Chain A
Amino acid sequence: MGDMANQEAISAGPVERPAAWRRYGKEFWRHFAPVVYGLAAGGVLLLILGKNPITFYWTTIESGLLSWNGLMQTLIRLAPLLLMSAGFIVAFQAGLWNIGGDGQFLMAAAVVGGLGASMVGAMPVWLALVILCIIGFVVGGAWTIVPSALKAYYGMNEIITSLMMAYLGTNLANYLIKGPFITDVGFVPQTNVIPFADLLPNIPGTRIHVGIIIALLVLAVVHYMQTRTGYGLRLRILGANPKAAVHAGINVKRDIMSSFALSGALIGLAAAVEVLGVWGYVRADWNPAFGMTLFAIVFLAGLNVMVVIPFVFFFAIIQIGGHEAARVVGLPNDFLLLLVGLILFFMVLTEWARIKSAVSKKLKKTGAGSGPGTDKAVTDGR
């Protein structure tokens, strides 16, 4: 994974530089080709099932992007998705598999939802909203402490521990909502409701809450952190080669803990923004489960916070519009999961093909393939 970033750096290492627009075009296609292939494969599958793929895709675009209502829903959905992908990217770039994103999300959501109504009633609304966002940020970050400490101090695999914490978090969030935070509103156990007027303000002239602006600002800060600060560089070294990071004198323990916490915190902020911007309360057993699918999106974007924006936008369209499209053609909503899975497979496949062709080009250039050393420069990034 960290290897992935590294590999990009090396295989993209330019020998001759084509014109800028061609470079960007190529770069764009490199990221976007798997999406096209994946959608095409999904279309073929639809045909086999006797459904009309054009109807499906057109309805998706129509109700997720082209209708005013759908576009607004898409943009509203963008806020938590972007924040959450930023959270994943921070951890993945540092070589940390934060698989427990859904647990961090739900814990933050439950606490924000549970405290929301009473806090909004007790102080100026703007102050309450700011504090609630900070609470979400802190709770999300705190939920990573166990896996990251075990990773930093005992070298324990964080996949297993963050997963455990995700299950713990999901259940604990439910317990909080059904226990201390419960109200007598509604049939399903839920938290107190923040009055609609006291939710995050809308961007003037729309129904889109300011969450998307928060998300874009956070993304810009994360991008700056990753590309322009020493901390960002340290995290990338940590991700590319943890041993080298130790030898370079980096305080690996501190950086593991802090980047893991930042990852969880951004995911917690995503939850706060979603609860404070859209719902105003949290229901028991509510789990949007953005985690696994966003994984895919983040990888498609090559772990780049700027590249991830169009991908997440695209994904939000599919989520919002696909819902309607699935209904129209009479498929379960879960068809979208299959699409994302197919896109991921094609990403892996095109990446492999690219490395293969880079190797063979290199071999042609240097003359005969003379032993294993020849392809080193191209593939040894892993």
Chain B
Amino acid sequence: MDAEFWAAVIAGAILAGMPLLLAALGEMVSEQAGILNIGLEGMMLFGAYGGFVVANWTGSSWLGFLGALIAGMAVAMLMVVFCVRMGRDQIVVGIAILLSMQGLTSLLHQVQFGESYPRLDGVPSIPIPGLSKIPVIGPSVFDQPLMFYIGIVLIFVVGWVLNKTNLGLNIRAAGWKPVALDNAGVDVLKIRTIAVLVTGGLAGLGGGYMAIIAAGVFVPFMTHGQGFIAIVIAMLARGRSVWVLIGSFLFGIALSITTALQLVGVQVSTDLINMLPFLVVILALALFARQSYLPAALALPFERGKR
């Protein structure tokens, strides 16, 4: 195991971990507000598609990320209308979002790029002076596209908003005790709407990261269940954003370690390695199982004047 190996592991973990991080961060916000967003994967996929289309069309990765953000929020609007405003079952709507986005992106991709299969240019990375000179870690961690640094900053911004601001308090109240929030004169549905839109935006950015930076292409079903992994990370993080950071990169390592091992000539079963993160989560849950660790009103619609 030499430096090259560890550099490959870290770089791969970051590449695979960033989309997870952004999406999980978003999911955490809506879970804290009482909305369980099973359609996260759909939002990521549409974000990836939207980001790719815009980036391909304008040639600018920034506009691409803007497109990903808007695409994710557009899908989140479905969740807002059906789950927040109409108070319908969040799991059913989430699955509807997932299925229709899988179908829609695959369809649009085939119609638009079925013959040409365009690729995006690489996104330039920005080395941080000094830090990027550290051996092994330097080039793999501190020499990344700007979006990476933005994602890291977002972790702390979201953590700060959730825990230190009035809006964050309202969001958490909407998830734990919406009636109390309503009695305090705050519009629960508005708070939840904001939370779901934030989720959609972040999930869209996560998908965009996949398409614009990690892959450079859009492929149907490219999220490969990562939306669901992000949901799990968010549930385990329980509103603590730093845990999202740790969890995402642990999953990122697991997702990338097989390639790194092959790079140094070690042959291991991909399937067994892929099982590791899930095994760890299950074990952790079994050992540290606790009764109430999700917001009390999670997945419950709120309607005024109803007990």
Contact = CB atoms under 8 A, between A and B. Distances in A.
A203 to B, nearest CB: 32
A192 interface: no
Given A1-B89, A168-B279, A171-B271, A334 B106 contact: yes
Contacts of A159: 36, 38, 91
A331 B306 contact: no
Interface string A332-351: 10111111111011011101
Nearest to B229: A167
Interface stretch (A111-119, A148-156, A212-220): A148-156
A30 interface: no
A172 to B, nearest CB: 6
Given A49-B111, A160-B232, A348-B89, A168 B291 contact: no
B199 to A, nearest CB: 17
A295 interface: yes
B99 A341 contact: yes
Contacts, number: 152
Interface bracket on A: 35 or more
A143 interface: no
Q: Is the interface of A mostly helix, strand, loop or mixed?
A: helix
Contact of B95 (A155, A171, A178, A295): A295
B292 A348 contact: no
A338 B306 contact: no
Given A168-B278, A335-B103, A352-B88, A150 B232 contact: no
Contact of A156 (B86, B220, B269, B285): B285
B92 interface: yes
B305 interface: yes
A181 interface: no
B224 to A, nearest CB: 11
A372 B99 CA distance: 36
Given A332-B107, A338-B103, A345-B100, A167 B225 contact: yes
B48 to A, nearest CB: 15
B97 A341 contact: yes
B99 to A, nearest CB: 4
Contact of B232 (A164, A336, A338, A372): A164
A164 B281 contact: yes
A382 B106 CA distance: 36
B282 A146 contact: yes
Contact of A155 (B101, B231, B292): B292
A53 B228 CA distance: 33
B32 interface: no
Interface string B103-118: 1101101110000000
A4 interface: yes
Nearest to B236: A160
Interface string B247-279: 000000000000000000000010110110011
B99 A293 contact: yes
Contacts of B271: 171-172, 174-175, 178
B290 interface: yes
A337 B88 contact: no
A296 interface: yes
Given A150-B286, A338-B100, A344-B92, A380 B232 contact: no
A153 B287 CA distance: 12
Contacts of B289: 150, 153-154, 156
Nearest to B83: A348
A172 B275 contact: yes
Contacts of B286: 146, 150
Interface in A354-382: 372, 376, 379-380, 382
13 contacts: A154-B290, A156-B285, A160-B235, A163-B232, A171-B271, A175-B269, A178-B269, A341-B97, A341-B98, A341-B101, A341-B103, A344-B95, A352-B88
Given A164-B278, A172-B275, A341-B103, 19 more contacts: A150-B289, A155-B291, A160-B236, A165-B282, A167-B225, A167-B274, A167-B275, A167-B278, A168-B279, A331-B107, A332-B110, A334-B102, A335-B107, A337-B102, A341-B100, A344-B100, A348-B89, A349-B82, A372-B306
Interface of B: 36, 38, 78, 82, 86-89, 91-93, 95-104, 106-107, 109-111, 220-221, 225, 228-229, 231-232, 235-236, 269, 271-272, 274-275, 278-279, 281-282, 285-286, 289-292, 294, 301, 303-306
